[in-house]
Amino acid sequence: MHIRVDDIVEVITGEADEVGQRRKVLKVLRDEGKLVVEGINRAYRHIRRSQKNLQGGRLSKEMPISISNVMLVCSNCGKPTRTGARFRPDGTKELRCKRCQAAIRVLAPPRGARASK
């Protein structure tokens, strides 16, 4: 899973009013293969009045969506893209944009076995 917290993603499927929106990732749930995206898939939680919460009412919160329903937005070309990994000549593994071939981020530090001589 190459999407991390604070990445910008675009919703590609789901609710009609949410498709095409670009938002920031708030949380990644790796075990479930889901993401919590800012302002997407909102649900109401009804809260009862109590000493802790004197007013009660409805609390709107984001619910997780499947990682397959979003695409990472490339920081270089600004378009939603598929991603791939490649090794640089110094042995560093990087995440790259399949559309413009630009490096998005470093995934792993250099390793001796992958470094070219």
In tens, the pLDDT along 78-110 reads 899 999 999 988 889 999 999 999 999 898 888
* Confidence (pTM): 0.80
Query: How high does pLDDT run on average in the chain?
Result: 90
User: Whose CA is closest to 37, among 1, 72, 9?
Assistant: 9
Task: Identify the structural domains of the chain with CATH numbers, from first to last.
Answer: 1-73 (2.30.30.30), 76-117 (no CATH)
Please state, in angstroms and rounded to a whole number, the distance separating the CA atoms of residues 65 and 57. Answer: 25
Give the lowest-confidence range in 13-27, 46-60, 103-117. Answer: 103-117
